Amino acid sequence: MAGTDRTRLRLEGGPAIVLVRPQLGENIGMAARAMANFGLSDLRIVEPRDGWPNDKAVQAASGAAHVVEGARLYPSVEAAVTELTFVWATTARERGQAKRIATPGEAMIESAAALKGGQEAHGLLFGAERTGLGNEEVARADAVLTFPVNPAFASLNLSQAVLIVAYEWFKAAHGGQPAFAARETPPASRGSVQGLFDQLEDSLEECNYFVPDNKKGIMWRNLRNILHRLSMGEQDVRTLRGVVSALAHGRRSRRHQPTKPPPPGAC
Amino acid sequence: MAGTDRTRLRLEGGPAIVLVRPQLGENIGMAARAMANFGLSDLRIVEPRDGWPNDKAVQAASGAAHVVEGARLYPSVEAAVTELTFVWATTARERGQAKRIATPGEAMIESAAALKGGQEAHGLLFGAERTGLGNEEVARADAVLTFPVNPAFASLNLSQAVLIVAYEWFKAAHGGQPAFAARETPPASRGSVQGLFDQLEDSLEECNYFVPDNKKGIMWRNLRNILHRLSMGEQDVRTLRGVVSALAHGRRSRRHQPTKPPPPGAC
């Protein structure tokens, strides 16, 4: 999906993403891309199975090469988190540890608030694809982050887990506004809408739409109610007036060409 | 990441995910896996580049083969959405169309509410990897769903885009509770905590910790305040009483073995 604007400031900072013994370069690259999508830049890698650097990671990062290239390599979890002030362990399984548990949304609201002051440095541990984090590594963290997930299929791909956390980070730290807003069209004034209604009413009268005569009141009210649901803008009113005019004009033209049969549906 | 419990009911239903001209089987498979993670099951595919079925899609689905195998193939977007009552177009770029725009969270709250009644069927269109949806396809939708994303790197991978929507669906439709709760340990009673404090105070007195004597009040209060931050459970109190006892007992034993020098830090 496109939409990147390279003239915009690159968002950086946020908590560190620590991948512990990741197996597939593709997952590392996809995680890096997800981080870039949501304004994270601090990627740390502990003992990657296939060594480092990893070409597949660069390939999968697809434009987020700066995150992969800026990644730091560590020999242990301890070394990777040493200067951090708070560490979340992400896990999909209950570990029997009496440790606080938060959802991604709760956790990132907490980290965003803490990091605002500039005194704290947070990080998140993500375990290997097949095994997750070891119990010792979970014990090392301050709290557990886990995912609201279908219990019958709880196995999240590593890069997907990173993505969800990064997405919640962006919502918590940068307000979660969409990348663009709806195209603003000025709302139609009551007068404009009334002009359209008058034109339509006249055209329908000419067309003998309101039959029988004593039903006109309710027929016309129903039709106006349908049109009001459009919450028209000025441009919408102009478009619809053109439509009514074309239909009415077409009918009149046809009246002057009685050799042509009226199209089906014309009054 | 592990954690799947195959004895749990498979969650199904929710809005249809419509992949329009997807290119890579891997992305289709990863999208299917993300759907299964978050309780979606209705996958529709319009004109996949590499044909269908696709081995790479089955492989990448990694346990969510039931979603890939249940996918339905359509010759056009029109055919894929024909029985749906409401369609979201997902897009990362502004399309200059006067159409309502929602974030994934807003959109899925709306769809979850609508689908509850059982009268509506919603769907989401996702465009091809490189190009996204065509303007005609966006125009066909009732509203636009777009992602809160880093404007400097807005290009979401197709399966990551599906994941975010599925994740927000699960939060809106199934309450967003984590897959497991913290292991409950009964909170410690005030009496238990006081027992620990009394034991600790006695031990510290024996150890001449409270020096000078007139500072004891403030020293002891500071220490209790630190310990209160633990919000101890009964098991925590038992663990800490053991720790205090071991330290005090170790010191006493050492007193009876004056040949051994006290370890550094012992009082």
Over residues A138-152, the pLDDT tens digits come to: 988 999 999 999 888
- Non-local (6+) Cβ contacts of B47 within 8 A are B20, B21, B74, B75, B76
Q: Are residues A67 and A143 in the same domain?
A: yes
C-alpha span between A16 and A122 (Å, rounded): 6
What average pLDDT score do residues B238-245 get? Answer: 87
Q: Are residues A151 and A251 in the same domain?
A: no
pLDDT at position B8, please?
Answer: 56
Query: B73: exposed, middle or buried (C-beta count within 10 Å: 0-12, 13-18, 19+)?
Result: middle
Phi, psi of B240 (to 5 degrees): -70, -35
pLDDT at position A1, please?
Answer: 46
Domain range enclosing A105: 16-174
Contact B149 A179 (CB under 8 A): yes
Whole-prediction pTM value?
A: 0.79
Give me A107's structure tokens. 């956790």
Return the residue of B nearest to A148 by Cα: B178
Percentage with pLDDT > 90 across chain A:
53
Question: Is B123 among the domain residues?
Answer: yes
Q: Are residues A233 and A208 in the same domain?
A: yes
* B5 — pLDDT class (breaks 50, 70, 90): low
Picking from A174, A198, A225, the residue at the C-terminal end of a domain is A174
Q: Are residues B106 and B67 in the same domain?
A: yes
Which of A81-85, A197-201, B147-151, B256-260 has the lowest average pLDDT? B256-260
Question: Is A141 among the domain residues?
Answer: yes
Q: How far is CA B152 from CA A37, B44, B208, in A?
A: 8, 31, 62
Q: Are residues A125 and A45 in the same domain?
A: yes
Contact A155, B63 (CB under 8 A): yes
Three-state DSSP at A73 gives strand
Q: Are residues B49 and B159 in the same domain?
A: yes
Answer whether residue B254 shows pLDDT above 80: no
Q: Tell how far CA A153 is from the center of its chain.
A: 23
Q: Are residues A23 and A151 in the same domain?
A: yes
- Mean confidence (pLDDT) of chain A: 87
C-alpha span between B126 and B149 (Å, rounded): 17
Of A61 and A264, the one with more pLDDT? A61
* Minimal C-alpha gap between B48 and chain A (Å): 16
What average pLDDT score do residues A218-240 get? Answer: 86
Instruction: Count structural domains, chain B.
Output: 2
Question: Is B82 among the domain residues?
Answer: yes
Return the residue of A nearest to B158 by Cα: A1
- Non-local (6+) Cβ contacts of A240 within 8 A are A196, A227, A232
Contact B146 A180 (CB under 8 A): yes
Picking from A144, A174, A204, the residue at the C-terminal end of a domain is A174
Phi, psi of B221 (to 5 degrees): -65, -45
pLDDT at position B13, please?
Answer: 83
Phi, psi of A70 (to 5 degrees): -85, 0
Picking from A140, A174, A208, the residue at the C-terminal end of a domain is A174
Q: Measure CB to CB from residue A183 to each of B97, B105, B157 and give the nearest one.
A: B97
Roughly how many angstroms between the first and final C-alpha of chain B, as a whole number? 47
Q: How far is CA B186 from CA A93, A98, A141, B182, B227, in A?
A: 22, 11, 22, 12, 17
Question: Is B262 among the domain residues?
Answer: no
Q: Are residues A211 and A244 in the same domain?
A: yes
Q: Are residues A126 and A213 in the same domain?
A: no
Question: Is B11 among the domain residues?
Answer: no
Which of A34-38, A76-80, A104-108, A203-207 has the lowest average pLDDT? A203-207
What average pLDDT score do residues A204-212 get? Answer: 86
Q: How far is CA A222 from CA A177, A225, A237, in A?
A: 38, 5, 18
Q: Are residues A222 and A139 in the same domain?
A: no
Q: Are residues A21 and A127 in the same domain?
A: yes
Q: What is the CA radius of gyration of chain B?
A: 30
pLDDT at position A87, please?
Answer: 95
Q: Tell how far CA A112 is from the center of its chain.
A: 19
* B252 — pLDDT class (breaks 50, 70, 90): low
Q: Measure CB to CB from residue A132 to each of B1, B38, B158 and give the nearest one.
A: B1
CATH classification of the domain holding A144: 3.40.1280.10
Percentage with pLDDT > 90 across chain B:
53
Contact A149, B2 (CB under 8 A): no
Question: Is B147 among the domain residues?
Answer: yes
Q: What is the DSSP letter of B151?
A: T
Q: Are residues A20 and A95 in the same domain?
A: yes
Over residues B155-172, the pLDDT tens digits come to: 899 999 999 999 999 999
* Minimal C-alpha gap between A193 and chain B (Å): 18
Contact B8 A233 (CB under 8 A): no
Interface test with A, best of B88, B149, B177, B230 (most A CBs within 10 A): B149
Which helix (H) or strand (E) covers residue A102, if one does? strand A101-102
Answer whether residue A243 shows pLDDT above 90: no
